């Protein structure tokens, strides 16, 4: 695939962050879990526990001079499920470390809305950062990879009979991704961080997915926090 094809198909990308985190994001950029741990000077066994082990619950980290940061849970990606779907000799620990080294953007708004309405997130406000795909590629094309599934979940439904197979080759560069499959891109991942987010983001807004009935959700924009 050529970069211009990716831009044409998915001109806008979306990242969901914890409510109240925009000021930190604007200053430090969008950071992967590993980059966040480095910024907050987390090391040793505490760092290894966060980077290489399953996180069934959110983790809050602190550092003098910085706002507390919340690292999301991995409730839908337990190690026993990873063990049956990892390829190439990877272990769950390898996969957690790989995932924690990337910043993830949804390729379309529908995926973002599904994420907002997940059981752990619905009925609570979150920050939604909208990113210009062209600007992202101009600055970070060499660190951008694509996937055609949700790499942070092992949930599955019919016709699948087990979690989606995955390994290091699940993330491929734009040039390696087949153009005919462009409409199937689910995630755009950036290695380490997107430091100058205010130069490539279009907006930052507070959104909430409200549960209004059985399997019924309404999405509401609460406020625009920032706009380029």
Q: What pLDDT is recorded for position 214?
A: 85
Residue 19 vs residues 4, 159, 167, 204: alpha-carbon distances, Å:
33, 36, 31, 11
Torsion on CA atoms 15, 65, 228, 114, rounded to nearest 10? 20
Tell me the whole-structure pTM to 2 decimals: 0.95
Q: What pLDDT is recorded for position 156?
A: 87
Q: Which helix (H) or strand (E) is 190 found in, with range?
A: strand 187-191
Q: Which helix (H) or strand (E) is 15 found in, with range?
A: strand 12-18
21 and 117 Cβ atoms separated by less than 8 Å? no
Per-residue pLDDT reduced to its tens digit, 150-205: 999 999 877 778 899 999 999 999 999 999 999 999 999 999 999 999 999 999 99
Tokens standing for residue 216 = 């019924």
**Local structure of residue 70 (DSSP, 8 states):** E
95 and 89 Cβ atoms separated by less than 8 Å? no
Low-confidence residues in the chain, pLDDT < 70:
none
State how far the Cα of 82 lies from the Cα of 55, in Å rounded to an integer: 13
């Amino acid at each position: 695939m050529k970069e211009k094809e990716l831009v044409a198909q998915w001109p806008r990308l979306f990242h969901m962050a914890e409510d109240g985190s925009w000021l930190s994001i604007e200053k430090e950029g969008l950071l992967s879990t590993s980059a966040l741990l480095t910024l907050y000077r987390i090391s040793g066994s505490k760092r290894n526990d966060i980077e290489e082990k399953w996180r069934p619950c959110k983790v809050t980290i602190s550092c003098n001079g910085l706002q507390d940061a919340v690292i999301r849970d991995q409730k839908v990606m337990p190690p026993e499920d990873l063990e049956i779907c990892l390829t190439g000799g990877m272990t769950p620990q390898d996969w957690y470390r790989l995932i924690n080294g990337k910043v993830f953007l949804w390729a379309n708004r529908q995926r973002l809305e599904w994420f907002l309405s997940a059981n752990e997130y619905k009925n609570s406000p979150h920050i939604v950062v909208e990113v210009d795909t062209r600007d992202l590629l101009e600055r970070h094309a060499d660190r951008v990879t694509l996937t055609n599934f949700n790499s942070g979940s092992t949930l599955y439904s019919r016709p699948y009979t087990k979690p989606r197979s995955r390994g290091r080759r699940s993330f491929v560069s734009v040039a390696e991704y087949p153009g005919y499959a462009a409409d199937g891109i689910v995630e755009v991942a950036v290695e380490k961080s997107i430091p100058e987010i205010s130069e490539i983001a279009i907006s930052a807004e507070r959104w909430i997915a409200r549960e209004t009935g059985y399997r019924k959700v309404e999405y509401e924009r609460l406020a625009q926090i920032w706009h380029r």
